[in-house]
Structure 1
Amino acid sequence: MANSIEISAHVDVGEISRKLSDLAKKQIPFATALALTRTAQLVKKGTLDVMRARLDRPTPITMSSVFVKPATKARLEARVWFKDSWSSGIPADRYMQPAVLGGARRHKRFEKALISRQIMKPNQYAVPAKEFLNQYGNITGGLAKKVLSGLGAAEMTSGYKANATNSRRSRRKGNADRFFVLHGLDRSSGIWERKATRWGDAIRPVFLFVDAPYYKVRIPFEKIAANIVKAHLQREFEQAMTKALATAK
């Protein structure tokens, strides 16, 4: 996904340049690079402000996913983007797509495993029940692995034999008995959990299968950047040029 904004040297340096001395003209690339970098940092701040206001309990990882690549005198272009790789997990460049671009989100690996085993239809998504969400509104990786193991779908994504079996150790974990699939005629279709209570056995939904959810754009990344660049780039250049002239040797 092209969640990247390139801020180039579109500042009015012509008139300024004609009035400057040769020494001062040498400071223009420095001032331009500084202005571009400072403007990019303002774009980052503006994007984070909108994310805080519009996202539901964003995680610290999500809030640290916006990066700035500074401009240099040799490369008069600053870049702002969502991080496109992590040491583990899905990068923000991918999971932020629905918020930035709108539309349906991609299937997660967990959902792909369910679809590959025909547990869930290709046009469906697995929505977790509120009881299984953490403080950021996400499920833990441990729950997804337990569900896939109990339903015999774990090895489709994990690369090793992680499915529940009849072994003593596997039966002790109880995932095969704990989770089951229910295909109801109403909104009860999904993955359910058997749970023992003081009043007897009970069941409750863990994931419900729903049609593809459609997301409106919540983080208009390009619009945020365009507005900030229009409002601040020229001023940042003038301030940077003043600083460059004051420090010119």
Structure 2
Amino acid sequence: MLKLDASELGLKAEVIGRAAKQVPFVAAFALTNAIKDGREGERETMRSVFDKPTPYTLNALQVRPATKQNLKAELGFKEGFGGTPAWKYLGPSVAGGQRKRKRFEIALTRAGILRSNEFTVPGRGAQLDSYGNMNRGQIVRILSALGAASDAAQNTIRRPKRSNRKRNLDYFVLRGTRAPDGVYLREGRTVLPILIFVKGMTYSKRFPYYEKARTVIPTAFRKHFRAGWERFVVNDVRRKA
């Protein structure tokens, strides 16, 4: 039988003891970084299933790091911190189901313009940003022109401002014609659809949440544990042996 004592390798017992105490710290380091790799895997999935996802969407997931006292790292949706909670608008794409109403849709419903079973989609004349979302300024102008702004002082349903009259701009609601129901913009002799009213908007499951992370994390944990062990333990033992 071959026995090998640590002292024969020049490793002092107190050094080994210090190394052993570092195991929870290394494990927390590996867990946290593995979860971060999982988050990046989920972002890759977002880029593949969504059309031009916004930075807000890509940053919708947050990491709760592990500590040596609590060896558990978590990956979850951000709560919003005053804005819209991430799950509220990403949930239908994860679990399927009906899309949540947007704030301006709620405002249009309260004003009696949009019916309770209707949603909106951008029309041909809608101003979209680089991510395909409605321009915020145009939404504000629509709500103001239709008397649906939450702040009554912003509502200008009576007449367009003089600067707008010069361009002959006007938003109005059109229903019961051959054209789709919705909000239209009259600009000179041209009429453009801005918001089209549709009944119901159901999402199919597009975002396979956690699936990518589950495949990434086990390998990532082993990689980060080895790196952490080398960085925080082996190098320290070498210095103090």
With the length of structure 2 as denominator, give the TM-score of the two structures: 0.79
2:207 aligned residue (219, 222, 226): 219
Q: CA deviation at 1:139?
A: 1.1
Paired residue type of 2:183: I
Q: CA deviation at 1:77?
A: 1.7
Q: 1:86 to 1:140 in 2, by over 3 A?
A: farther
Which range moves more in the overlay, 223-232 or 69-78? Answer: 223-232
1:126 aligned residue (116, 120, 138): 120
Q: CA deviation at 1:231?
A: 4.1
Task: Output the CA distance in 2 between the equivalents of 1:177 and 1:239.
Answer: 63
* Pairs within 5 Å for 1:74-223: 74-85=69-80, 89-132=83-126, 133-154=128-149, 157=150, 159-166=151-158, 170=161, 172-174=163-165, 178-184=170-176, 188-196=180-188, 201-223=189-211
Q: CA deviation at 1:222?
A: 2.3
Q: 1:100 to 1:111 in 2, by over 3 A?
A: same
* Pairs within 5 Å for 1:64-83: 64-83=59-78
Q: CA deviation at 1:128?
A: 1.0
Q: Is residue 150–residue 177 contact of structure 1 (8 Å, CA) maintained in 2?
A: no
1:63 aligned residue (55, 58, 61): 58
Aligned residues: 221
Q: 1:180 to 1:69 in 2, by over 3 A?
A: same
Q: 1:160 to 1:152 in 2, by over 3 A?
A: closer
Q: CA deviation at 1:163?
A: 0.7
> What secondary structure, in the 3-state scheme, does the structure 2 residue paired with 1:208 have?
strand
Q: Higher Cα Rg: structure 1 or 2?
A: 2
Q: Is residue 23–residue 248 contact of structure 1 (8 Å, CA) maintained in 2?
A: no
Paired residue type of 2:19: A
Task: Output the CA distance in 2 between the equivalents of 1:37 and 1:166.
Answer: 57
With the length of structure 1 as denominator, give the TM-score of the two structures: 0.77
Q: Is residue 168–residue 186 contact of structure 2 (8 Å, CA) maintained in 1?
A: no
Q: Is residue 164–residue 171 contact of structure 1 (8 Å, CA) maintained in 2?
A: no
Give per-residue Cα distances to partners, 1:121-153, cap 9 Å, x unaligned: 111111112442222101111111111111111
Identity of aligned residues (%): 33
> What secondary structure, in the 3-state scheme, does the structure 2 residue paired with 1:221 have?
coil
* Pairs within 5 Å for 1:32-71: 32-71=27-66
Task: Output the CA distance in 2 between the equivalents of 1:165 and 1:234.
Answer: 63
Runs of 5+ consecutive residues of structure 1 not aligned to the other structure: 1-20
